[in-house]
Structure 1
Amino acid sequence: MDRAELLEHLTEDILAYVMHGAFPENDLAAALKPDALDERFTEYELLLNLHFILTPELIEFVETLPRRVRTLNTETESVARRRRGTIDGKINWAATIKQRYAQNPGDRSVFVCENRTEDYDTAENLVFKRLIAIIYDTLREAEEYLRKDYAWVNERWNAPLINNLRRIVEQNVHVRRIRDPHAYEPTDRMLNTASESRHEIYRDAASLLKTHRKLFAGDREQLTSLLAETAITPDDDETLLELFVLFRCIATLEALQDTTTQFETIKTDRQEIARLEGQDESEIVVYHDNSARDRNLSFRPVPDESKRHLSRTEKVHTTGAAVANDYFTNRDLRTHTGRPDLIVIEIKHTADDRDYLITEVKNSTNRKTIQQGIKETLEYLAFLRDDGSFVYGDEAHNEDYFGDGWNGLLVIQDLAEETAALDEQDGQMKILQASELESQLSDVLAQLL
């Protein structure tokens, strides 16, 4: 599968990916399901706001703020106050004479004075203030991403633009004088007023705020357009394939279990990406990027003491070679080094009954790389530990270090040559090509469920 095909599959799933990213030209939102998004993503609002502030229209709005913020309007009104013995402002003689005759006709120390005041809390300004508050708060929430060298930051929110916005929000006298809108503001009437303003800054602010409201209301057209323009996607094909496999696993599990998944945002420091809960105690947890240490799972290889039978390490190498030889017609294979990320699916049937699927991904058709992927998958299986104890195999009684043959899966890129079909693979693990996942991954997962 090429990059365009992978991106085509990463539609609503791509919203869960907030890591190193770039902006693809492909339309990622062809098959969005907006009705379920806000229920399935625990950080959905932040993610949606993050995508919202990356739109070209909003970036252009922020870029022109330093110039246009000077055109903010105020409403001027006259406030009349009764004074005794002093004059503050312009004397309203008609009101003064009326006031004197009403209280004490002989008291010439009473004056009614008028002062003109500027009101910043206009409907237009409240629309503007709400919009820049959304932008400012989202940038602040996304600070952990802004500190890093992410492509989407460099391409849109560069340091000068961020600093300009912060300076306007935090230091501009006119902006600071506008009160913070109430929770229900701006109202539809306020938005309409801003939309019909003579000043472009208010018309643009109203338009962007209306778009924002439609996004959070689940408007399909707006969500599709938003993701197509701003989707944060991985900028390397290896990670793209890993994500494709990850979400195919989740989608297949959902179909087999007839349930929906609760997603977490994929971050560098978070391991659990998705969870499916069944009846009673059953649950399925999916991990990505490193081992699932939050649930006491690890993959620590420990050299075995010299024994008459094969050690775990030796068994990995011998079994790996056998699996590779069974899969390829040409047996000329050599070793390769490297240890990429993996996907772990933990299936909890009951409190004491658990099973695992360890999935390694290799974005390659190179035989040496595939052989290395086989070796790594077997290593993960052989050294998988739960609370410090090996999950599979026992040197003293059982040498099934790799489970029952369905606990390890290697996903590779599509090959031009003929290879063994899934039902023809009798080894200690399985191998699928990227294009085979849609039709055959369910067969693998069904063995564990």
Structure 2
Amino acid sequence: MDRAELIDSVAEDLFAYVMHGTMPETHVAEQIKPNGLDERFEDFDALVDLHFILKPEVIDFVEALPHRIRSIKTQTKNVSTASRGEIDGRIDWESTMTTRASSAPGDRSLFVCDTRHESYDVDENVVLKRLLSLIYTTLDDAEYYLKQEYDWVTDRWQENLELVDRMRDLFERNVHVTRIRAPERYEPTDRMLQRADGARNEIYREAAALLRDHQASRRGDVDAIRTLLADTAITPGDEETLFELYVLFQYVNAIEDHKDGDATVSTIQTDRQEVARIESEDGSDVVLYHDNSGRDDISFITHPREKAESDLTRSERIYHETQKITNRYFKDSDFQVRSNRPDVIVLEIQRDDQYEYLVTEVKNSIGRRTIRNGITETLEYLAFLRRDDQLVYEEETPFGTGWNGVLVVQDMEEQDTASLHEQETIRILQASELDTAIPELLERVL
């Protein structure tokens, strides 16, 4: 499964689950934020804002601002003021006589004058001010990171760091910008954006287009999310995270289908470890954990000494089973290593006081060595999986029934491998097999 396919699938599921509030935005934001950012950018909206200012179109807009801002639109308004002893502007005799008669009879020093003032309070300027405010605020939050040597920072920010200072100075001190009122929370309205869309001045048309793109990303528009995930400025350099999210969503989809409408995905609070909780009418709950689940309960051990299989300890049997599974799964000796970053998804089934588990390790690889490591890690997770500090599986069956552990790897189109039912102890699934294999796994554990 290539990057484009992963992005399409994950974007659809992000829209379906995360943007509708049934899966924590913070969890997904934490997964896809660029390396080095602090916790402020684990808020999805903040991450969207960061992605926004990294867009080439936004940088182009900022670079051209100093010259274009001088041509922004104003309108002239007549302001009527009453004063005594001085005349400022054109005397409005009708209003003067009316005011004298009603408030100061006989006072010949009172005049009402019309004065022409230049006003920046037009719809197009409100659109522009909202965009400038968004860029200004996000640059202020991200300035430190823009100055670092991170791969995800566009070269144009790093090579032109004074652009940040120019933007700040323009927003805070430029006479044209400061005279535009601050938009209300609900502004710009659709009517304001439409006026900017149809403006003669290009600065307004571009501002409206950029704001619409930003609003679409904030709303969770599928195409906007797809663009966000596809942009290397916002995702990690490899495809590991996208692959993990793809597998995670495959589980959620399969569980909903398995329950055949008798289950609902419940909204998860952001301070919970759970990624998703699926509640069934029969009283059983399925809870999905990802990445940070049970790490304190997982142990890693040394290579066992040579012993008879019957004499192996729980820890030693992991390596024995690893070798056996690897030899059984691969039917030729070709291999290719791509990556070896581990991750884990834990599916917990709660029924009355009974618990069942499905532990899934994800490897974005087709390499034999990487997959072998994944087998070892999956066995370790199973062997040392604990609930309330108690081992889940007994000494006689430390890896469960053979259907409690899964290793998901990338598609191996030219590799001859064992089928799902030919495998033992754990199941190795390729990405393209998940649609059909996960439902069968669920039949075994639910």
TM category, shorter: 0.7 to 0.9
On the 8 A contact 1:346/1:354 being kept in 2, the answer is: no
Unpaired runs of 5+ in structure 2? Answer: 26-43
On the 8 A contact 1:88/1:114 being kept in 2, the answer is: no
Residue 205 (structure 1) shift:
2.0
Aligned residues: CA RMSD = 4.4
On the 8 A contact 1:291/1:298 being kept in 2, the answer is: no
Provide the residue aligned with 2:434 in structure 1.
437
- What is the distance in 1 between the residues matched to 2:440 and 2:379? 20
Q: What is the letter of the counterpart of residue 422 of structure 1?
A: L
Alignment length (residue pairs): 414
Residue 326 (structure 1) shift:
2.7
Q: How does 1:10-409 map to 2 (within 5 A)?
A: 10-11=7-8, 13-14=10-11, 38-40=19-21, 42-43=24-25, 52-85=52-85, 87=86, 89-90=88-89, 92=91, 94=93, 98=97, 102=101, 107-136=107-136, 151-154=151-154, 160-212=162-214, 232-258=234-260, 261=265, 272-279=274-281, 282-292=284-294, 298-301=297-300, 309-329=311-331, 340-350=341-351, 352-393=353-394, 398-409=395-406
- What is the distance in 2 between the residues matched to 1:198 and 1:238? 46
Against the structure 1 CA distance between its residues 240 and 148, is the aligned structure 2 distance closer, same or farther, given a 3 Å change threshold?
Answer: farther
Against the structure 1 CA distance between its residues 244 and 203, is the aligned structure 2 distance closer, same or farther, given a 3 Å change threshold?
Answer: closer
On the 8 A contact 2:129/2:183 being kept in 1, the answer is: yes
Against the structure 1 CA distance between its residues 381 and 218, is the aligned structure 2 distance closer, same or farther, given a 3 Å change threshold?
Answer: closer
Q: What is the letter of the counterpart of residue 38 of structure 1?
A: M
Residue 328 (structure 1) shift:
3.5
On the 8 A contact 2:6/2:242 being kept in 1, the answer is: no
Provide the residue aligned with 1:24 in structure 2.
none
Residue 136 (structure 1) shift:
4.5
Against the structure 1 CA distance between its residues 50 and 257, is the aligned structure 2 distance closer, same or farther, given a 3 Å change threshold?
Answer: farther
Against the structure 1 CA distance between its residues 69 and 118, is the aligned structure 2 distance closer, same or farther, given a 3 Å change threshold?
Answer: same
- What is the distance in 1 between the residues matched to 2:225 and 2:142? 20
| Partner secondary structure for residue 439 of structure 2 | helix
On the 8 A contact 1:364/1:413 being kept in 2, the answer is: yes
Unpaired runs of 5+ in structure 1? Answer: 15-30
On the 8 A contact 1:76/1:118 being kept in 2, the answer is: yes
- What is the distance in 2 between the residues matched to 1:12 and 1:135? 30
> 1:61-96 CA deviation, whole Å, 9 max, x = no partner?
2332233223333333332322223x2633627469
On the 8 A contact 1:272/1:292 being kept in 2, the answer is: no
> 1:36-64 CA deviation, whole Å, 9 max, x = no partner?
76315654655655555555444432332
| Partner secondary structure for residue 379 of structure 2 | helix
Residue 407 (structure 1) shift:
1.4
Residue 277 (structure 1) shift:
3.3
- What is the distance in 2 between the residues matched to 1:160 and 1:346? 50
Provide the residue aligned with 1:448 in structure 2.
445
- What is the distance in 1 between the residues matched to 2:124 and 2:77? 17
Higher relative contact order, structure no. (Cα contacts within 8 Å, ≥ 6 residues apart)? 1
Against the structure 1 CA distance between its residues 91 and 368, is the aligned structure 2 distance closer, same or farther, given a 3 Å change threshold?
Answer: closer
- What is the distance in 2 between the residues matched to 1:74 and 1:422? 70
Against the structure 1 CA distance between its residues 221 and 317, is the aligned structure 2 distance closer, same or farther, given a 3 Å change threshold?
Answer: closer
Q: What is the letter of the counterpart of residue 256 of structure 1?
A: H
- What is the distance in 2 between the residues matched to 1:171 and 1:260? 53
Against the structure 1 CA distance between its residues 149 and 381, is the aligned structure 2 distance closer, same or farther, given a 3 Å change threshold?
Answer: farther
TM-score by length of 2: 0.74
Q: Quick check: 1:421 aligned with 2:419?
A: yes
TM-score by length of 1: 0.73
Provide the residue aligned with 1:18 in structure 2.
none
| Partner secondary structure for residue 68 of structure 1 | helix
Against the structure 1 CA distance between its residues 233 and 388, is the aligned structure 2 distance closer, same or farther, given a 3 Å change threshold?
Answer: same
Against the structure 1 CA distance between its residues 146 and 440, is the aligned structure 2 distance closer, same or farther, given a 3 Å change threshold?
Answer: farther
Q: Identify which range, 269-278 or 195-204, moves more after superposition.
A: 269-278
Against the structure 1 CA distance between its residues 48 and 366, is the aligned structure 2 distance closer, same or farther, given a 3 Å change threshold?
Answer: closer
Equivalent residue for 1:8, pick from 5, 9, 13 = 5
Q: What is the letter of the counterpart of residue 68 of structure 2?
A: R
On the 8 A contact 1:253/1:445 being kept in 2, the answer is: yes
On the 8 A contact 2:73/2:120 being kept in 1, the answer is: yes
Residue 443 (structure 1) shift:
1.9
Residue 428 (structure 1) shift:
1.8
Provide the residue aligned with 1:25 in structure 2.
none
- What is the distance in 2 between the residues matched to 1:147 and 1:286? 38
- What is the distance in 1 between the residues matched to 2:226 and 2:333? 48
Q: Identify which range, 54-63 or 319-328, moves more after superposition.
A: 54-63
Residue 292 (structure 1) shift:
3.6
Against the structure 1 CA distance between its residues 132 and 224, is the aligned structure 2 distance closer, same or farther, given a 3 Å change threshold?
Answer: same
- What is the distance in 1 between the residues matched to 2:409 and 2:48? 32
- What is the distance in 2 between the residues matched to 1:155 and 1:149? 9
Aligned-residue identity in percent:
44
